[in-house]
A and B are shown apart, each in its own frame.
Chain A
Amino acid sequence: MNEISNKWIGERTIRPDGIDKVTGRAAFAADTSMPGMIWGKVLRSPHAHAVIKSIDTSKAEALPGVKAVVTAADIVDFPVDTPVPLGIQDMRWMCRNVLAREKALWHGHAIAGVAATSEAIAEEACALIEVEYEVLPHAIEIDDALAKDAPILHDFITFDGKPSNIAGTLEHTKGDVEAGFAEADLVIERDFTTRPVHQGYIEPHACLVSTAADGKMTIWSSSQGQFMVRAMTALLTGIPQSNIRAIPAEIGGGFGGKTIIYLEPMAAILSKKSGRPVKMVMTREEVMRASGPTSGSKSTVKIGVRKDGKITAAEGIYWLQAGGLPGSPIRGAVGCALAPYDIPNGRTLGYDVVSNRSKVAAYRAPGAPIGAFGVECVLDEIADKLGMDPLDLRLKNAAKEGTKAVHGPTFPLMGYVESLEAAKAHAHYNAPLGPNQGRGVASGFWFNAGGESSAQVNITEDGNVVVTTGHPDIGGSRAGIANICAELLGIDYRRISVLIGDTATIGFSNLTGGSRVLFASSIVVTESTKKIIATLCELAAKIWDIDPEAVIWEDGEARPAGANAGQFPPLTLEELAARANESGGPIGAGTQLNTTGAEGGFGTHICDVEIDPELGIARVIRYTVLQDVGRAVHPSYVEGQMQGGAAQAIGWALNEEYLYDKNGKVDNPGFLDYRMPVASDLPMLDTHIIEIPNPKHPQGVRGVGEVPLVPGPAAVRNAIHNALGIYFDDLPISPPRILAALEGQKAAAE
């Protein structure tokens, strides 16, 4: 446990990026331009599934103003039989995602790129590229891809010895599931579907790449990891990492969707070929057609309980859409589905299913909301059938410290039970409901993560502090780090600037994702700051001519440790910085670590809806997110994460889905008809922070951002059930679906 004084940790300090963002000064990826810059545009497949027989770019290259063209032939090939993992991605699929190689696998799949002196010329040149396609039948939905006569996307993928669109499986088992179901007094089994949902970041993917005559390359782009950008671009272009400097722009939202790259390798090759800086910016339509949403899914969840509500067995089978290339987040689905519960006999199984849609990318707790949806819905029905309060049912089965999870680990100290108890006691849970209103609850889990992080903390000559880390800030990590560093140094947080370094100025740091950044970066910042405090104490000791052990650091100054150490006036950070050369020189410290000790997070949501039964509209009228966050280093940002996750969950539940036409083309590639909630759709989302500090972290941090999406879709669905007495097992629960179900209910009653 931490022993810190809490002067700054837990304070709602002013966010360091706030003024730039509200005044428009913040520089996002598309804000960077250079003299001599030219524009890149992408030719995309007009077919959902087609063999690329030939690509002729000669007419495009002949168009005045065109400076370079790129196709898959310019990208390093990663043969399909040799896995090359990079983080959660595999370069075999990345190289085919960035530019279609053998086949166009979805409508909008990148086929070629052109760089020209204007966007208009580049677009015109794209239209001059002649591609010979052999159009193939396509499969969009999971059932289409699994059908007996389904078109097979990849002939190298087999399942059960036959060519298949099932690209992989993952299974967790504990105990004897069949025996567990045999012991149950009540067994509920249901089938569910969830739809692919886009992360919906406001900033489209964008980059600027400049290549010098000596081959050194600089990339400015918006991503969740500048080192990921460097590594993937290096692998896909064959350029050594040391020749690529990736500079992270301020990011206009990622939610997981910017943990992979699309444009940078194309722009790198176009820049290398043309010798000019090349800028590429996706349109919203390109984002919707060609960048990764999360998987759609179908699942079957079966849970058995005794009369007292104790779970005897649980099973979840999940099929997740990967898009046109393998790699859906089955780990999150099968790992998180049953994690909140102490289940003696459990089994989860996930299938990774390819179909002719854009390749999925990470999205906030990838896979976990899909896993939780069916489980939390079935628990709702069990509580209903047993006449039990749904929170009591969860409390009866809640995982605790020492519980062995179905996905393997034995849980350490954690705050799931606390989230349930807080929900039960919450005013929201005990408030009366009006006509056409209903209330639902659901819980969720996410692993959280540690991994590689680097930090450099430097004391300026005037005694202030600059902290550099290697992670793009998508959730308030700069503000959190400033609070932590201020706490450790005992100085005002406004004296600390927290910056995000580029790949040439800070050591390797894994990308921002998995709710890992504040966990990991605060470990390395803490280490660096402790080293600096030791240096400052040594400097003071030398000035005072006493033992370094006889100096302590308190309230931003060095003091003699006690009367025995001698009588000296304290030396402040400013005074010591000015006298740095009296011992050792400039004061600074770097730390690079593969951090460990991340522990999972749990949350519980309460949702109230009101239904307009004539129009079939469900509106969320009250919502409360309760979550164990370990330690809320900056509570406003923690609340923001909790609210953001819940807002996205409401979109999953009520409105968001991709609509495809019969040719396999997305029919709603924009925010008008891809209906994410707007602000007026949501009530104020209330939050309740629970702090059970992570004992393995210096400040007790667990990670916050992923968990608050996980319970949400089921909480909304359970609330709608409570209001109408109708189980909706397919998302989104849109007005036409609600109205049709109500009419069905009426007809059945007559």
Chain B
Amino acid sequence: MTNIQYLAPATLDEAVRAFAAAEGAARILAGGTDLLVQMQSGFAKPGMIVDVKKIPELMAIEETAGGGFIVGAAVSGATLERHPTFGKIWPGALEALNLIGSTQVQGRASFGGNLCNGSPAADSVPGLVAAGATVTIQGPNGRRELAVEDVPAGPGKTNLAPGEIAVSFTFPAHPAHSGDAYLRMIPRTEMDIAVVGCGVFLTMDGETCTAARVALGAVAPTVRRVPDAEAALIGSHLDDAALETAAAACRAACNPIDDKRGTIAYRTSVAGVLLKRTVAIAAERAAQA
């Protein structure tokens, strides 16, 4: 019989100590919406589970200056949705997180879990990358901070070192006339996993786009930022030519696989379509912000 040790430490230091000491036999439990499913299917067989939901820093939401936020890595989608200002300032990041799973799953699913699960199709990750969020990580050797796009390393893999735990996400100050958005393509209307996901953040100066971040999900082994698409948007009026150049850059950035969720040709084509549609929403939000 396999025995599983369950820990729910109240401090981060305790969690890191236990996680590191288990030397790879442990898994972090945030909402468990991936871990418990993996365990049930026999895919994951951890010897220890470290539940991080008792650690205050992982469950906190703090608004910082200028529309910035620090969001605990285990804060659930439902909790963040109910926050009075987060969704007004970062609607794209929030909608990306809120698209995961059902209402029940929303009570558990978190940015930290979604990122550390390492799925190329993680919905919230393109949203975080587009928002320019960084993640604070704590491990046996102390704290460090990484851009979110630097965390995924491949399907099911991250660049977190052994014993490291994602603590919180830092959203930068939100410039005036900026907006973010996330769209995904799924064959159904909900309860599905992205065939393609697209996150966009834009800052506008009148008609001109002055800053842009574009991230694609489910089209490569990791969520991918698309600098060529950003370059095509920055300085443009978001006119058809600029959008087509950006869409082409998104298609070029695709390196997908044929799998049960979509074909290479389909995913590549859809990446360009979603870019244009997501930019339109982000631009409208920027105009109102």
Contacts and interface: CB of A to CB of B under 8 A. Distances in A.
B5 interface: no
A616 B192 contact: no
Among A120, A739, A743, max chain B CB count under 10 A is at: A739
B269 interface: yes
B153 interface: no
Nearest to A651: B188
Contacts of A120: 1-2
Contact of B192 (A121, A124, A285, A675): A675
B265 A740 contact: yes
Contacts of B260: 659, 667-668, 673
Contacts of A654: 187
B2 A616 contact: no
A617 B265 CA distance: 15
A655 B187 contact: yes
A678 B190 contact: yes
Q: Is the interface of B mostly helix, strand, loop or mixed?
A: loop
A361 to B, nearest CB: 23
Contact of A678 (B189, B261, B263): B189
Given A673-B260, A673-B261, A678 B187 contact: no
A170 to B, nearest CB: 34
A699 to B, nearest CB: 40
A283 to B, nearest CB: 8
A734 interface: yes
A675 B266 contact: no
A735 B187 CA distance: 7
Contacts of A740: 265-266
B193 A675 contact: no
A121 B1 CA distance: 7
Contacts of B261: 673
B262 A736 contact: yes
A678 B191 contact: yes
Interface string A269-285: 00000000000000101
Given A120-B1, A124-B1, A672-B193, A615 B270 contact: yes
B40 to A, nearest CB: 8
Contacts of B200: none
Interface string A290-327: 00000000000000000000000000000000000000
Contacts of B187: 617, 654-655, 675, 734-735
Interface string B154-194: 00000000000000000000000000000001011111110
Given A673-B260, A740-B265, A655 B188 contact: yes
Given A667-B260, A739-B269, A675 B41 contact: no
Contacts of A734: 187
Contacts of A121: 1
Contacts of A672: 191-193
Given A285-B41, A615-B273, A667-B260, A736 B265 contact: yes
B141 to A, nearest CB: 37
A611 B185 CA distance: 14
Nearest to B41: A285
Interface residues of A, number: 28
A681 interface: yes
Taking each of A285, A668, A672, which has the highest tally of chain B beta carbons within 10 Å of its own beta carbon? A672
Interface string B221-252: 00000000000000000000000000000000
A615 B188 CA distance: 12
A739 B195 CA distance: 14
A654 B187 CA distance: 9
Interface residues of B, number: 22
Contacts of A617: 185, 187
A221 B133 CA distance: 52
Nearest to A738: B266
A680 interface: yes
Given A667-B260, A735-B266, A740-B266, A681 B1 contact: no
Nearest to B264: A736
A615 B267 CA distance: 10
Nearest to A736: B266
Interface string A667-697: 1100111010110110000000000000000
B274 to A, nearest CB: 8
Contact of A739 (B40, B190, B193, B266): B266
Interface string B87-99: 0000000000000
Contact of A616 (B1, B189, B190, B266): B266
Interface in A87-145: 120-121, 124
Given A285-B41, A659-B260, A681 B188 contact: yes
B41 A614 contact: no
Contacts of A124: 1
A283 B40 CA distance: 10
Nearest to A667: B260
A747 to B, nearest CB: 13
Contacts of B2: 120
Contacts of A681: 188-189
A685 to B, nearest CB: 15
A614 B40 CA distance: 38
Nearest to A121: B1
Nearest to A65: B1
Nearest to A283: B40
Interface in A570-625: 614-617
Nearest to A120: B1
B248 to A, nearest CB: 15
Contacts of B1: 120-121, 124
A123 to B, nearest CB: 9
A551 B111 CA distance: 77
B263 A736 contact: yes
Which residue, of A615, A659, A681, A735, has the highest number of chain B Cβ atoms within 10 A? Answer: A615
A530 to B, nearest CB: 50
A680 B189 contact: yes
A677 B189 CA distance: 9
A169 B189 CA distance: 41
A667 B261 CA distance: 11
Given A615-B273, A617-B187, A655-B187, 11 more contacts: A120-B2, A285-B41, A678-B188, A680-B190, A734-B187, A735-B185, A735-B187, A736-B266, A739-B269, A740-B265, A743-B269
- Interchain residue pairs A-B with the least CB separation, the first 9: A736-B266, A680-B189, A614-B273, A659-B260, A736-B263, A668-B260, A681-B189, A678-B191, A673-B260
Interface of A: 120-121, 124, 283, 285, 614-617, 654-655, 659, 667-668, 671-673, 675, 677-678, 680-681, 734-736, 739-740, 743
24 contacts: A120-B1, A121-B1, A283-B40, A285-B41, A615-B273, A616-B266, A672-B191, A673-B260, A673-B261, A675-B188, A678-B188, A678-B189, A680-B190, A735-B195, A735-B262, A736-B262, A736-B265, A736-B266, A739-B266, A739-B269, A739-B270, A740-B265, A740-B266, A743-B269
